[in-house]
Structures are given as structure tokens and as C-alpha cells.
Amino acid sequence: MSVLTSPQSSLRTRCDWRAALKSAIRNPAELCRILGLPADLVDAAVRADRDFPLFAPLPYIARMEPGNPRDPLLRQVLPLEDELRDSPRFIADPVGEAAAKRLPNLLQKYQGRALMITTGACAVHCRYCFRRHYPFDEGANSPLGWESAIREIANDHSIGEVILSGGDPLTRVDAQLADLASALEQIPHLRRLRVHTRMPIMIPQRVTRELIAWLRETRLLTIVVVHANHPNELDGSVQKALAGFVEAGIQLLNQTVLLRGVNDDLQSLVRLSSRLLECRVMPYYLHQLDQVAGAAHFEVPLEKGLRLIDQMRTQLPGYAVPRYVREDPGAASKTVLA
């Protein structure tokens, strides 16, 4: 069996995370072949993936159910015809990021926290991504451009926390990230460093000794916020990778996007929270979908989201129920819906 027809075997043979990024599936026909999916999905995916191509790493594909076009993990990555249907409420920059730019690679919306765009690259292309149309500037987002962001943060004493975002900051190599962390920790008014990443979920091999080392060695309080939407994403390999953070004493939080056909049912959300607890990750936010062009078919009505949260409360301890939030352009914080 070749690597392409057997995601399981490739999972065992590819240990290096960079190899896993390189071998990620970009071709809809190949994805459908690996998973034994009907060929009619391929044509639609080829038409829909033009602006924002398919990109899915094999360790993630290995957690999908072969032959199931409705698999909740598959739905997050497979381009569908639905993406081409225009919906007037769904726009390129739904959360007002253009207005929040202090520099091409530094956004600030909220008091005390600044968000650094460290790269445009991700370990996966999530079809519902609110930055799917973001004008990533490779020059500014590269390590060469970090210097101006560091200077801006150093000159603003009101900033106590820096969030490394992207893209996914953990697509950068640890040597670059360790340099960035040590530049940031020299800014006396900074207290916390937060990393927003989907990498440990997509490619668990990314949680390397070097990664844990720079997170642990910095003077800054480090918080890692991962992004999982469905309990099937959190298999044994991911749990083991997350244990690396736990053992180093790094606080782990999770954010989820509420997605139609992926996790908009009570059982998925309850199981997701339970699984997160088993992995020692606190459920943080459940996001109402940002209204980004191409993602309208993922929207769950607000009333349904509110009902789901109410039902979750009856089945889980209070600390396992995430805050249901929405991002409103211009607001001083995320808007708490429940």
C-alpha cells in the first residue's frame, strides 16, 4: 500500500512535522481517493477551492472515517459547491481587522493585548476561516518584519500580553520563535505570551522538545490556546502531544467554532468538552461563526447555539462549558452570548 492510500501507515512513518506539512494533501482527487469518497465530490471541490485551496495534513486525515462524506473532520477541510454561493451578509473582513491594524503584522482590538501575525501559513485550511481572505503580507509577516512589531510593543506600556497568531505561529521553526520570545521578554511591561495554534491538533509531532523548551524558559507567563471543533480530533496522538505542555506547566485552553454539520449537536459538544478535560485543556470559547464570504453554509442560528449551551450546562460541570461568544467589529471585547 502506498503512503497515499493509507493515511494510517504514513502516520507511523513520518515523524518530522515539517515532512507532515510538505506531504499535506492539496489535491481534492487525492483526498477523495485516500478516503474512498465518491468522485462527484472531486469536481465540486476543484471548482470551490480556487481562492483558498484545499490543504489537509495526513495525521489529521487519518482520524477521518473512510467512505463517509459527512465526516465532521472532513467537512472542515473539503471545499464544497456551497462556498461559491454568495450571501450578502458574508464578507471578506467580517470582524473589522483592517481597522485594528497598528502595523501590517500587529493588530490591536482590546485593551492590554496585542496580536502579532507571525505568518500566513497554517497546518490546515479550515473552510470557515475568518482570515481566508486576509491580505497576508509575506514581507511584514516574516521574521524580518517582527522587529518593527517588537519596537511598537516596547513603546506602548499599556500592552501586557502578546498573542502570537497568523496563520499558525507554530508553522515557524522553533529557533525563530525562541528568538522572538527572548526579544519580547526583554520588554519590561510584558507579562504574558499567548500562542494561538491549531498545529498540535493537526500535526501532533509539532510539539517538540525545542518548542516546550522556549515556552518554559521564558520569563513570560505562557498560555497555549489550541483549536479543536470535534472530539474525533483529539485522539491518543494528540493527547500525548498535549501532555508535553501539561508536564511543562503551561496553561492550555481551547477555542471551538460552532459549525453546522460538524458540531452543532449536543452530543458532539458534550463529548468535545469531556475529551478536552481528559487532555487537560480547559474549554475557553465557543465562537459564533464569523460571517466570512464563502462560509455561509456553516452558520448555526444564534437561538440554536443558545439552546445548545443551555443543554450543555445540564450535562457538564460548570467549568467544562465554554463561553459562547461573537466577535463584533469595533467592540471592546468579544461579545458574550451565553
Ligand X SMILES: *Cc1c(COP(=O)(O)O)cnc(C)c1O
What is the Cα–Cα distance from 238 to 207, expressed in whole angstroms?
Answer: 9
Q: Which residue has the cell 501532533?
A: 204
Q: Residue written as cell 476543484?
A: 46
Judged by CB under 6 A, which stretch of 13-21, 126-134, 213-221, 260-268 contacts ligand SF4?
126-134
- Which range of residues in 55-63, 109-117, 199-207, 305-313 is near ligand X by CB under 6 A? 109-117
Judged by CB under 6 A, does residue 109 bind ligand X? yes
CA dist., res. 43 & res. 45, Å (int): 5
**Three-class SS of residue 162?**
strand
Q: Which helix (H) or strand (E) element contains residue 226?
A: strand 221-227
Question: Residue 57's binding partner, choosing from ligand X, ligand SF4, none, with beta-carbon cut-off 5 to 8 A by kind?
Answer: none
Q: What are phi and psi of 115, to 5 degrees?
A: -115, 125
**255 vs 246: CA distance, rounded Å:** 17
125 vs 334, which CB is nearer to ligand X?
334
Instruction: Tell me, residue by residue from 185 to 214, as one string, x for binding to ligand SF4 by CB under 6 A and - for no binding.
Output: -------------x----------------
Element (H, E) at 17: helix 17-22
- Residues within window 110-149 making contact with ligand X, judged by CB under 6 A: 110, 113, 115
- The site partner of 334 among ligand X, ligand SF4, none (C-beta below 5 to 8 Å per kind) is ligand X
| Nearest distance in Å: CB 322, ligand X | 12
Q: How far is CA 215 from the centre of its chain?
A: 19
Phi, psi of 227 (to 5 degrees): -140, 100
Quick one: which of 168, 233, 264, 327 contacts ligand SF4 (CB under 6 A)? 168
Residues that bind ligand X (CB under 6 A): 100, 107, 109-110, 113, 115, 163, 333-334
Residues that bind ligand SF4 (CB under 6 A): 122, 124-126, 129, 131, 167-168, 198, 227
